[in-house]
Structure 1
Amino acid sequence: MRFQLSPSASTGIPQASSDEGPERRRERTRASQLMKLMRHGDVKVAVLAGLAVACWLSFLVWMPHGTGLWVWAGFVHAVQMAHAALYWSFKQAGRTALTQPSRWLHRYQAVVLLSAVSWGIAPALLIDDLRWVPTMPLVLLLLGLAAAGAHQVAAQRWAIYLWLVPLLTPLIAFMLYLGTPMTITIAPLVAAFLFACIYHASARHRLLMKELQTKLDNDALVRALRQQVVLVEQANREKSRFLASASHDLRQPMHALGLFTATLEKRLQGTALQPLVKNMIRSIDALEQSFTSMLDISKLDAGVIEPNLQPFPIRDLFRVLHMHCAGQAEELGLGLRFKAGGKIVMSDAHLLERVLSNLIHNAIRYTQEGGIVVVARTRADAISIEVWDTGIGIPEDELPKVFDEFYQVDNPGRDRSRGLGMGLAIVKRLVLLMGHQLEVSSKPGKGTVFRILIKATPFDEMDNIAVAADTVPSPIDESRTLLLIDDEESIRVGMSDLLQTWGYKVLTAATIQEACTEVRRHAGVIDIVISDLRLADGEDGIDAIERVRGVYGAPLPALLITGDTSPDEVKRVHSSGHQVLFKPVRTKELYAVLRSVP
């Protein structure tokens, strides 16, 4: 076996094939001509056969007949049988015939020539006396066949001549041979008709060939476009696979670092090193926010977030936002005002809070003086929630880009202190997910306003407004036992240390087999299972939880932890029914989830 690595092969993406050569294009042209010529062949043969029968029956009735009539009838019908056999064999051959178009075109030309000859010799074999009635109808029939046939065979240049010349030339010669005033008059008229047919058929041939070449060019463009689409899709899959793997691999050490730092903070509390640990935690939190933003995009793309729309007073949401955002605005010397105006909206309170929080923090980030106003207004049949600021503004040509991922106005140096550039991308997705409309307008140097248009809520729905209850989780019972499954030792150690400081007894395992062994070995109660999604040797956390439940004999509460943010994996873990946390896990989130377990 031989393997060769080349620059084109090293990318893992197939290279686009070059344009087809002249010979291949000629073959495709001949195949298209053949298809046109063979179209409706059975109908053409049937029409010619009917005309031939009508012709010789007319001469049989109206003129004294000799052997010439039967010779012509036998010849023309034999040719028509050959014509029918050609069409039948072409139909049987199917697409195979198109792989050898030249051979079939030669057969078709031979049949056309024989058909033209069989009709062309009709005057010489049938007309004995010009006084008989069928003479002129025969001449008109031949002229009609010439015109109609030229139209049918125009797709192939040689077929035009093979049809017209053998069909009308014998008639011209026969008319001149008879030498009567009438036939001498008819001969040049037929000759003129012959040249007119050749001219018009040739013009039609050029038109058909131009049309055919255009079609072939379009087909080539379509093939090239499809190939490029395949390349783009493959590149996109490779990019998604790379980002998913990179995200998972980066989240693993970040997750362990967060666990160790949280444990260290608790142990160094009240010492001179506590400020240093707090600075470490701030840096970790900044990284976690970046990962969380990218995770939110993955969740939205995966379609695992479903809005829970219900009516609620906007003033309650504004109160929460004021508590979260007023401190930051005050530190920067900015004013932050909210005006709900007694409005009620039909939306998802949690998702709308996330949207408005992103817009407010974005406004604070880009405002040096003045302030931010958040107001709800009535607009026709909608409620408009607006975030106004007196910031730097956005140029008109930049407005369509502000909702793109990683895009930031006036931040070409990618200053990390000014965010990652994912906030407005998340805003756009969430607003569309809830079925609302989003507008933005701005004047550079004066400020920007974002508007979220929400369909107005009827007043009769006020009775259905959900009021959130203040709940206090019960404290952790120090006697609780937790089973931790993770294939990375650093995470097992860091998580165990942290959980033990919270009062848990921790059982650890690296594989499903070890987890089942720990369950069998432990004589007491196990309160919850925490498992990483991606374990070593292809083992799966969802399967690990089910196996542990089977050995334990009860449906243990379970928590999945994963660093994989690909849309397919995000959708799969959410559909498993288990609680899910994404690495790097914030200790506050983990603590809240564990406290909520009954």
Structure 2
Amino acid sequence: MPFQLSPLSPTSTAGIPQAASDEGPERRRERTRASQLMKLLRHGDITVAVLAGLAVACWLSFAVWMPHHRGLWLWAALVHGVQALHGWLFWSFKRAGRSALAHPGTWLRHYEVVVFLSGLSWGVAPLMLLQDVRWMPLVPLVLVLLGLAAVGSHKVAAHRWTIYLWLVPLLMPVTAFMAWLGTPTTLALAPMTGAFLLACLYVAIGRHRLLMKELQTKLDNDALVRALRQQVTLVEQANREKSRFLASASHDLRQPMHALGLFTATLEKRLQGTALQPLVKNMIRSIDALEQSFTSMLDISKLDAGVIEPNLQPFPIRDLFRVLHMHCAGQAEELGLGMRFKAGGKIVMSDAHLLERVLSNLIHNAIRYTQEGGIVVVARTRAEAISIEVWDTGIGIPEDELPKVFDEFYQVDNPGRDRSRGLGMGLAIVKRLVLLMGHQLEVSSKPGKGTVFRILIKATPFDEMDNIAVAADTVPSPIDESRTLLLIDDEESIRVGMSDLLQTWGYKVLTAATIQEACTEVRRHAGVIDIVISDLRLADGEDGIDAIERVRSVYGAPLPALLITGDTSPDEVKRVHSSGHQVLFKPVRTKELYAVLRSVP
């Protein structure tokens, strides 16, 4: 049987709760009846106990004066029998639990019968208990019935028919009985009882309307909550599908980008000093631009995955400003912009590497949006904090745009999404990194005059820079040209490109496409293997982490290993970092790969 999909196909909404708009009138009536039933039987045990106690008090009082009155015991049997029926109904409902709410109409009909019989059993009490109409207990008995009517009408107000089935059998017989007797006392009480019956009906029906309005409002809110939950489920499903798509697309795009970068780096080395070298350099610039875009998205993925942990240490801001000046001043000078740094001898407690990334993003952002004037980076002392500020004389940001500047892919004054002006991810990364380090971030701006970003860092207990000893940079030893490297990747173009590049660096390269081929290469190679480089996602579901472990097992020693992956989903980012191996994300910059290989002992 062929599988078909249509706009109304249930497959498209699998696992999604039914929409509130799908709830028909009959379903809504059932939900209304179920809610009414819950209100009526909510305290059924207490109601039965109170009525039983009141009935016992009544017939005991009459038994003291009329021990041989047959009607007394008939009434006692009647009223307690109805109360037993009421108790059985409540017990059955409680035992049925949630399943009883599936058929609320049946239970409501049973309850109506019990209410009618209960009201009637109390309503005939004067007829069965009074032998002499001139006897004084008539008035107290009528007062008891009036009290039951008042209290009971409040109890049964949730259902309109139960109001009539309680009040009419309760007060109509005694009203008619007193009018029929025709004594001055009963003729005075009869219209008063009838008026009280009408008043109770009026109040109970008014309360019923309020309860129904409240109930309908609750049902409407429940419908809205269900609709909201459905929309949340749809959004979560769409987000999961988007994440899967982006992860797959990112991986598939990074593979050829990675191979292209390897081939271009090899080509640059071979064409060095020729007429084609400028062309290759332009190709490398284009590849670098793409790599920066991928790197920005990767940084967001790493931050969302929670794999970046800040290492907060006290250090002089002066050293960081020197590095930033070396990296950024040349670009500003090319554009005719001034750039000044003023550390002011401040010492901060932060992560030097992450703070450098934050300030670098802010400075490059300031350069991008400044046509004339310049940028000033300064550290100032504020109340219990050090404020590192980046001032520019750029185009500025309108006040209503300030909350949006830290959103992903948002750029001020770039509605056309000009790629030469970046992706709009820099400030999103800045926000995440500043919050990760526990600092505060402020921004203020005046359109046409400039913008200032402030990073507020809690003050350190160090007062003078001389108290801090800054570690010197270590210089890695040059690569030993006799080294051997095992490369595992299922993409032939990447194996070829990586091999050519590594060989230009002096490595002997063993290549393999699968775990089995890698193990075979290890057994076949008689010498030492210095490092293993493996792609994370191999063909036929094989995994790079497993490949490294298998190679180590065959080799018989814990070889240094490097994972390379194009998968930037948060779960995969967490997994590769928790593996303990060094990780590079495609497309890998050649200088980054070179630095990692040099650092291997």
TM superposition score normalised by structure 2: 0.97
Q: Does 1:37 align with 2:40?
A: yes
Kindly state the Cα deviation for residue 70 of structure 1 after the two structures are TM-superposed: 1.0
Give the residue type in structure 1 aligned to 2:391: W
- Render the CA deviation track for 1:302-350: whole Å, top value 9, x for unaligned: 1100111111111111111000011111111110000111111111110
- Render the CA deviation track for 1:391-414: whole Å, top value 9, x for unaligned: 111111111111111111111222
Kindly state the Cα deviation for residue 66 of structure 1 after the two structures are TM-superposed: 1.9
Give the residue type in structure 2 aligned to 1:594: L
Instruction: Report the counterpart of residue 3 of structure 1 in structure 2.
Output: 3
Kindly state the Cα deviation for residue 467 of structure 1 after the two structures are TM-superposed: 1.3
Instruction: Report the counterpart of residue 478 of structure 1 in structure 2.
Output: 481
Equivalents in 2 of 1:289, 1:521: separation in Å?
Answer: 40
Taking a change above 3 Å as real, the CA distance of residues 307 and 8 of structure 1, as seen in their structure-2 partners, is farther
Equivalents in 1 of 2:444, 2:464: separation in Å?
Answer: 32
Instruction: Report the counterpart of residue 279 of structure 1 in structure 2.
Output: 282
Equivalents in 2 of 1:578, 1:164: separation in Å?
Answer: 81
Kindly state the Cα deviation for residue 459 of structure 1 after the two structures are TM-superposed: 2.1
Instruction: Report the counterpart of residue 55 of structure 1 in structure 2.
Output: 58
Taking a change above 3 Å as real, the CA distance of residues 82 and 312 of structure 1, as seen in their structure-2 partners, is same
Instruction: Report the counterpart of residue 422 of structure 1 in structure 2.
Output: 425
Kindly state the Cα deviation for residue 466 of structure 1 after the two structures are TM-superposed: 5.3
Equivalents in 2 of 1:323, 1:429: separation in Å?
Answer: 25
Alpha carbons 2:346, 2:379 under 8 Å: kept: yes
Q: How does 1:540-551 map to 2 (within 5 A)?
A: 540-551=543-554
Kindly state the Cα deviation for residue 464 of structure 1 after the two structures are TM-superposed: 7.0
- Render the CA deviation track for 1:111-143: whole Å, top value 9, x for unaligned: 001111111111000011244443322111111
Kindly state the Cα deviation for residue 188 of structure 1 after the two structures are TM-superposed: 0.4
Alpha carbons 2:379, 2:387 under 8 Å: kept: yes
Q: Does 1:361 align with 2:364?
A: yes
Instruction: Report the counterpart of residue 251 of structure 2 in structure 1.
Output: 248
User: Which consecutive unaligned segments of at least 5 residues does structure 2 have?
Assistant: none
Q: Does 1:385 align with 2:359?
A: no
Equivalents in 2 of 1:461, 1:315: separation in Å?
Answer: 12
Q: Does 1:340 align with 2:322?
A: no
Taking a change above 3 Å as real, the CA distance of residues 465 and 237 of structure 1, as seen in their structure-2 partners, is farther
Q: Does 1:372 align with 2:357?
A: no
Q: Does 1:587 align with 2:567?
A: no
Q: Does 1:218 align with 2:216?
A: no
TM superposition score normalised by structure 1: 0.98
Q: CA RMSD in A?
A: 1.5
Alpha carbons 2:310, 2:351 under 8 Å: kept: yes
- Render the CA deviation track for 1:3-42: whole Å, top value 9, x for unaligned: 1122455995558633311111011000000000011101
Equivalents in 1 of 2:411, 2:119: separation in Å?
Answer: 76
Equivalents in 1 of 2:351, 2:539: separation in Å?
Answer: 39
The 10-residue stretch of structure 1 (370-379 or 464-473) with the greater mean CA deviation from structure 2:
464-473
User: Which of 305, 308, 312 pairs up with 2:311?
Assistant: 308
Equivalents in 2 of 1:520, 1:570: separation in Å?
Answer: 32
Alpha carbons 1:58, 1:134 under 8 Å: kept: no
- SS of corresponding position for 1:417: helix
Give the residue type in structure 2 aligned to 1:430: L
Alpha carbons 1:63, 1:132 under 8 Å: kept: no
User: Which of 105, 112, 131 pairs up with 2:108?
Assistant: 105
Q: Does 1:121 align with 2:124?
A: yes
* Number of residues of Structure 1 aligned to a counterpart in Structure 2: 598
Percent of aligned pairs with the same amino acid:
88
Instruction: Report the counterpart of residue 28 of structure 2 in structure 1.
Output: 25
Give the residue type in structure 2 aligned to 1:408: Q
Give the residue type in structure 2 aligned to 1:109: E
Instruction: Report the counterpart of residue 441 of structure 2 in structure 1.
Output: 438
User: Which of 566, 569, 574 pairs up with 2:569?
Assistant: 566
Q: How does 1:169-568 map to 2 (within 5 A)?
A: 169-459=172-462, 465=468, 467-568=470-571
Equivalents in 1 of 2:419, 2:489: separation in Å?
Answer: 32
Equivalents in 2 of 1:205, 1:10: separation in Å?
Answer: 40
Equivalents in 2 of 1:411, 1:80: separation in Å?
Answer: 78
Alpha carbons 1:311, 1:466 under 8 Å: kept: no
Give the residue type in structure 1 aligned to 2:265: A
User: Which consecutive unaligned segments of at least 5 residues does structure 1 have?
Assistant: none
